[in-house]
Structure 1
Amino acid sequence: MTAGNPPMKPGPSGGLPILGQLSNVARIAVLGTLGLSVAAMALDFGLHADETVVFLVAAAAILGLAWVVGLSTERLGSLTGPQVGGILNATFGNIAELIIAFFALQAGLIDVVKASLTGSVIGNLLLVLGASVLVGGLRHGTQTFSPKIAGSNAALLVVAVIGLFVPAVFAFTTSESTQGTRTEESVLVAVALIVGYVLSLIYQFTHASETLGGHGEPTGHGGPAWTTRISIVVLLMAAALLTVLSEILVGAIDGFIESFGLTPFFVGVVLIPTIGNLAEHLVAVQLAAKDKMEFAMAVSFGSSLQVALFVAPVLVLLGAFLGQPMDLVFTPLEVTAVAAAVGISALIALDGESNWLEGALLVIVYVILAVSFFEFV
């Protein structure tokens, strides 16, 4: 018997240790997620229901599955230590969004995929950080945190975003840019960003006190007493269901867009990041409400870093492999919005304190940008 695998006692839910070790609320959430997953598959594969209904049910199921992934990842991290936990968090932190984007890329919805990348960064830095600062400020007044730690995360993000937008700047400033050269340059940038991602992981593990990476702080999931084996099984099952439901979601996007009169760009920049990351967003707000603003900021900045250094370059390389070439040339509106989000969030991080007004203003800026995205065609 290993140290990390204590014997499991039958829980109150029919002897199933997976459910029996959860709180009542968490147990209901898991069962509800399974029910929604089955319903989405039945509506799509069996009943061939309206695409709008399929999209909404699949989206709800994905929200729950993203939470289950976070639950099992947290438990594995607590069992295996901060180093392995950091790798798991870095790998699975944006897994739902990555899987959704993969199927969208496979379907040729490249504009939706690119919009989801910028939308994720903007949402993390404005909506998530703003909501965290707002809730924390209303509950605790002015909150203080280490400007060194927050500033380190902000600086890493600035460098990552600059690298991500190099192809866009090149396209804006030269007339020699063609689709072929844009794709080639984007592939090279993607490789460089992945190298940067690996280096950031190494730095995270060797300077844990400076980055809060893999800190092992409870994330508000109410960590269940699962063994390593059960945690891995739950994680793999949730990832498998995410794969199926993401394909269903992407297949229903066109009908959903037509029903609500939305643009593919708006769906990519606002809805897809929200569906993929809502569970993680709620964790950040919960941490801020507990007066743990450093950890809330680590969630916000860390998720944005994963998108810039891992999700985006992986999708570029997958696009080249799938015959769906995707470049990193974003629209001027996206570049401006991300630059503003990075700049504003960095300013808040560097002074070492936050209050509810700053949070409210961040959320307001996000709403303004969302309205602009809605009108953007």
Structure 2
Amino acid sequence: MGSVNVISQHEFADESLVCPVDLARKGLPANEAEYGFFSDCKQGFRIKYLQGRLVKSLKIVMFATKINLLMPCGPAAIVVNYLTAHHGWVFLLSLLGIIPLAERLGFVTEQLAFFTGPTAGGLLNATFGNATELIISIFALKNGMMRVVQQSLLGSILSNILLVLGCAFFCGGIVFHKGQVFNKSAAVMNSGLLLIAVMGLLSPAVLHYTHTEIHFGKSELVLSRFSSCVMLVIYAFYIVFQLKNHKVTSDHVDEGCNQEESADNDVAEISKWEAVIWLASFAGWIAVLSEYLVNTIEGASIAMKIPIAFISVILLPIVGNAAEHASAITFAMKDKLDISLGVAIGSSTQIAMFGIPFCVVLGWLMGRPMDLNFQLFETAILFITVLVLAFMLQDGSSNYFKGLMLILCYLIVAASFYVHVDPKSNGDKPPPS
């Protein structure tokens, strides 16, 4: 007991080594007039804490994945644009620079969803899940490049259905040789929504090419805007239905699930405000590079001798779907095929039922004649693709052969657009200001 008393008498002999936090824990008064150094200690503690959080956040967000090695391509695109203005290199560097940004944007959106609850989290994922494609489309719409908007959104649907889902099926089938199963009801519902989107795109195209409009050139635009509003309403009710259905199923989850897996899925790696700051930063940086990307599409097409249709339908969507591609394959290889389908087909549903109608309504507000007439060639390819998807999902199982077929179908689509001459591309010029 004597040694304890000695320690307690001399524990705070040197006041310069005492922090107000320690005094508060021991129940001792911290008078600012008597201990003026306390505020400096607290200030230093806060600065060190913020520095530690910053370093940890940078490690998690910027240095946790190898795809971030492409980050310098973004600043390089800006430098090349100011030094040489070579559209081919500016376009290519912007394209490569957006890939890691799109992947990280998906990551911080998932992190932020941990703090918003299921309802707000679902709306957040619906908004930012395809943010890259929407940002590129908005800049193209602003420049009057309606065909680029249509083709890039169409290409995003085709890429998710054929390439992303095909790679998920293929990689999952290689890991699990006996094949995998998934929830057929959810997949069928998404296929139904895609067919509704095809109907919305097919009606204006058929109306135009059969010359059965009451007012030629105007009726298809009015029909497109009306159909877009209806599609947005359908998608809004779909989100509400999914959220309520998810809440009901979560209440009946089996209590014997793996606790470690639940912990991994339910714990955020960064804080809420860190996620918000990163989300705003990545979205802003994507917007900057998207402007360079859109402004150099025509020049890049000439410099690289690649059709604009191929760039819009194939190259741009691959960049926008970088996050979905990586996530779908990862989940499939972990035998979580339902999540892979939700990522791939769910993203296609978002673009078809939300992205495209949103751009039509936005063009309406901006005074741009954006419509749902995607031309017969493109609409026919989309219709056949959705039919192929429906047949692939009808038995509720997958294997590597199904994945290989979807990937090869995507190669056929890519080759088709490489030799396709867009009849309306020359009419897409920025409108006079």
TM-score if structure 2 supplies the norm length?
A: 0.77
Inter-partner Cα distance in structure 1 for 2:342 and 2:249? 8
Partner of 1:309: 353
Specify the code of the residue in structure 2 equivalent to 1:264: I
Inter-partner Cα distance in structure 1 for 2:62 and 2:52? 11
Inter-partner Cα distance in structure 1 for 2:265 and 2:305? 36
Inter-partner Cα distance in structure 2 for 1:175 and 1:22? 54
Describe the SS at the equivalent of 1:179.
Answer: coil
Per the TM alignment, residue 80 of structure 1 is displaced from its structure 2 partner at its CA by 2.7
Inter-partner Cα distance in structure 2 for 1:48 and 1:14? 40
Describe the SS at the equivalent of 1:165.
Answer: helix
What does residue range 189-204 of structure 1 map to in structure 2 within 5 Å?
A: 189-204=227-242
Query: What is the total number of aligned residue pairs between the two structures?
Result: 364
Residues 314-365 of structure 1: per-residue CA shift (max 9 Å, x gap)? 1112222223211111222211211111111122222111111111111111
What does residue range 1-377 of structure 1 map to in structure 2 within 5 Å?
A: 16-22=55-61, 24-26=63-65, 29-30=67-68, 32=69, 34-44=71-81, 46-141=82-177, 142-176=179-213, 178-208=216-246, 225-377=269-421
Describe the SS at the equivalent of 2:321.
Answer: helix
Per the TM alignment, residue 41 of structure 1 is displaced from its structure 2 partner at its CA by 2.4
Which segments of 5 or more consecutive residues in structure 1 lack a partner in the other structure?
1-6
Residues 41-88 of structure 1: per-residue CA shift (max 9 Å, x gap)? 2332x3243111111111111111111111110101123333222111
Identity of aligned residues (%): 35
Describe the SS at the equivalent of 1:89.
Answer: helix
Which segments of 5 or more consecutive residues in structure 2 lack a partner in the other structure?
1-45, 251-260, 422-433
Inter-partner Cα distance in structure 1 for 2:57 and 2:133? 25
Per the TM alignment, residue 15 of structure 1 is displaced from its structure 2 partner at its CA by 5.1
Residues 275-323 of structure 1: per-residue CA shift (max 9 Å, x gap)? 2112222211111111111111111111111111111111112222223
Specify the code of the residue in structure 1 equivalent to 2:117: G
Inter-partner Cα distance in structure 1 for 2:147 and 2:343? 27
The 3 A distance-change label for structure 1 pair 222 and 9 is: farther
4+ aligned runs moved over 4 Å, structure 1: 7-15, 209-212, 220-224
TM-score if structure 1 supplies the norm length?
A: 0.88
Residues 98-153 of structure 1: per-residue CA shift (max 9 Å, x gap)? 11111112222222211112211111111111111111111112111121222222
Higher relative contact order (CA 8 A, sep 6+): 1
Inter-partner Cα distance in structure 2 for 1:36 and 1:190? 36
